[in-house]
């Protein structure tokens, strides 16, 4: 791929990401993306065969950015290496990545029917086989969790908290002094980090360093899996196959969904970050 082709691809991904956040998956069209980068629609289809393939590439790129932010915080965090540091790394990474925050939150308003795409990023059948309990046991094995902690019980607590946070806080808000409303996502994740820092402290500094190495290794694995999954074919939904005139399917409705849920890496992903947007209703748009 030449430099110009790389620049064109990044411009397409930038435009698609912006339109996805503004209008949502259901109203995103390849024509809109082509118009945003001042290209003929055929040139967009030349690189991305369908809307799903384009969205998969957008999400994979966003997850890599999320991983970079997560890694940067983990490496610089003097408390990094504990279970609690996972939440702090998430909080800091998601502050500047609203699309990643929407991925972690499984934002229905933004992703719409993409949340239910077979084989897609959010398909539960594509989750990693490692369980929360397995992650906690590995951390306990290097001393990042004290040996008398019941990891089986803690895994149940983790797994119960994760969907509850997603359901309760799909968006974000700024809390005013004395405000009795729900906390912001930052406040929520920081409270969870403090709770787990007290409940699951590392045995010593050496154990914390070993825990950090495990977290960084898991992050690298997630990024690798995200890259290798890119390009897996999936079938389009029936309404995407309505006909060759559909804006999303120029005769070949087969899409591509990819990526990995970095927010769920090691079973600890939870919460929602800033950036929820209600899709703008535009007259005459086609899905």
Mean pLDDT of 8-34: 96
Q: What is the pLDDT of residue 246?
A: 38
| 15-32: burial string, b at 16+ Cβ within 10 Å, e else | bbbebbbebbbebbbbeb
Predicted TM-score (pTM) above 0.75: no
**C-alpha R_g of the chain:** 20
Tell me the domain boundaries of the chain.
3-267
Q: CATH for 3-267?
A: 1.10.357.10
Mean pLDDT over each residue of the chain, to the nearest integer = 75
Q: What is the rounded (10 degree) CA torsion for 17, 22, 27, 32?
A: -60
Residue 77 contacts residue 245 (beta carbons within 8 Å) = no
Q: What is the pLDDT of residue 178?
A: 61
Specify the length of the chain in residues: 287
Question: What is the DSSP code string of 90-114?
Answer: HHHHHTT-HHHHHHHHT-HHHHGGG
pLDDT tens figures, 84-133:
998 888 888 888 888 988 888 888 999 999 999 887 888 877 655 457 88
Residue 21 contacts residue 275 (beta carbons within 8 Å) = yes
pLDDT tens figures, 154-202:
999 888 887 666 655 445 544 455 666 777 777 777 888 888 889 999 9
The larger pLDDT score, comparing residue 25 to residue 190, is at 25
pLDDT tens figures, 51-91:
999 999 999 999 999 999 989 999 999 889 999 998 888 88
């Amino acid at each position: 791929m030449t430099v110009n082709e790389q620049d064109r691809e990044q411009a397409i991904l930038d435009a698609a990401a912006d339109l996805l956040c503004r209008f949502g998956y259901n109203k995103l069209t390849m024509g809109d993306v082509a118009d945003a980068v001042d290209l003929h629609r055929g040139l967009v289809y030349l690189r991305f065969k369908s809307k799903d393939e384009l969205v998969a590439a957008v999400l994979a790129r966003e997850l890599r950015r999320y991983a970079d932010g997560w890694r940067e915080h983990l490496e610089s965090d003097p408390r990094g290496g504990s279970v609690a540091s996972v939440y702090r790394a998430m909080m800091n990474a998601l502050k500047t990545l609203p699309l990643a925050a929407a991925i972690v939150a499984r934002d229905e308003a933004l992703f719409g029917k993409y949340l239910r795409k077979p084989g897609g990023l959010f398909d539960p059948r594509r989750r990693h086989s490692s369980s929360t309990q397995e992650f906690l046991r590995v951390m306990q094995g290097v001393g990042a969790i004290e040996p008398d902690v019941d990891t089986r019980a803690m895994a149940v607590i983790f797994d119960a908290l994760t969907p509850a946070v997603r359901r309760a806080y799909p968006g974000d808000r700024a809390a005013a002094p004395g405000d009795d409303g729900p906390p912001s996502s930052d406040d929520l994740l920081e409270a969870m980090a403090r709770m787990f820092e007290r409940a699951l402290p590392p045995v010593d500094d050496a154990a914390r360093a070993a825990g950090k190495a495990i977290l960084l290794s898991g992050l690298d694995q997630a990024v690798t899996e995200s890259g290798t999954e890119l390009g897996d074919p999936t079938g389009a939904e029936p309404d995407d196959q309505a006909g060759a005139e559909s804006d999303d399917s120029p005769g070949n409705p087969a899409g591509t969904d990819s990526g990995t849920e970095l927010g769920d890496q090691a079973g600890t992903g939870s919460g929602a970050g800033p950036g929820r947007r209600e899709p703008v209703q535009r007259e005459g748009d086609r899905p």
